[in-house]
Homo-oligomer: A and B are copies of this chain.
């Protein structure tokens, strides 16, 4: 089945990419954006979704500084 893993910096961990985006927005004319956090998204096909937690913690995220969230996606209509 298709699944998605969202990986984001833990709360309190510095996110320089997010800060850079937040600082760039007003210069492009966009106001009213705050608390920008940038992480990774991994999408994959997996036979056994029960493995996803372990795969995420071992290979996709660094649990010291990142949290992850597993989402199971609906199969596309055949």
Contacts and interface: CB of A to CB of B under 8 A. Distances in A.
Interface string A39-63: 1111111111001001100111000
State the copy count for this chain. 2
Contact of A33 (B30, B39, B46): B46
Q: Determine which residue in A6, A44, A47, A54 has the highest number of CB atoms from chain B within 10 A of its CB, and name it.
A: A44
Contacts of A18: 42
Contacts of A7: 41
Interface residues of A, number: 34
A36 B43 contact: yes
Q: Determine which residue in A8, A31, A36, A42 has the highest number of CB atoms from chain B within 10 A of its CB, and name it.
A: A42
Interface of A: 6-8, 18, 21-22, 24-25, 28, 30-48, 51, 54-55, 58-60
